[in-house]
Structure 1
Amino acid sequence: MSAEFTGGETRETLAIPAIQTVVTRIWEEVLRIDGVTATDDFFELGGHSLAASQVISRMTRDLHVRLTLAEFFERPTVRELSEFAHAAAPERS
């Protein structure tokens, strides 16, 4: 797994529902649509690789998580991306 958080976030501070809310907002902004759900497929909603790159950039900015385009393509739903971002957060020591 090469996704990583760039700030001081931990699994405890970023719950999956909070991450899903942010990812949903980002998708709606990038795709210029409303009503995205956790199980919608990015590419079925009209997304493409350039739009995916914009989502990745905004996730880095807003959630401090880095992921590759390949990792995004493997997880094309809000739920899958959110779970991946949550799992990438460092555990609190």
Structure 2
Amino acid sequence: MKIASLLLLSAALITGCTTTELEPIPGSITYQGQPRTKLTKAPVGSTFSHDFYQGSRVVEETYQIQPDRSLKIVRREYRTIFPD
């Protein structure tokens, strides 16, 4: 019985690890499409962060520059402004 439970738990964890594409939200640099200006001097694969407010929390997004010079959101973190 323990082995069956362990297998089910392992399968659930592996399923939860699948990478999903982060969709832009209001405030994201790419919310209304890719920016018009291209980051021509930044190396492909480099990352940078962008912070903005969404209600009572701060959103920090990390973008990665793709080979075609478009931006991809690779991480999003929410922080409350006034922690309890």
TM-score with structure 1 length normalisation? Answer: 0.26
| TM-score of the aligned structures, taking structure 2 as reference length | 0.28
| Greater Rg over alpha carbons, structure | 2
Greater share of strand: 2
- Which has more helix, going by share of residues? 1
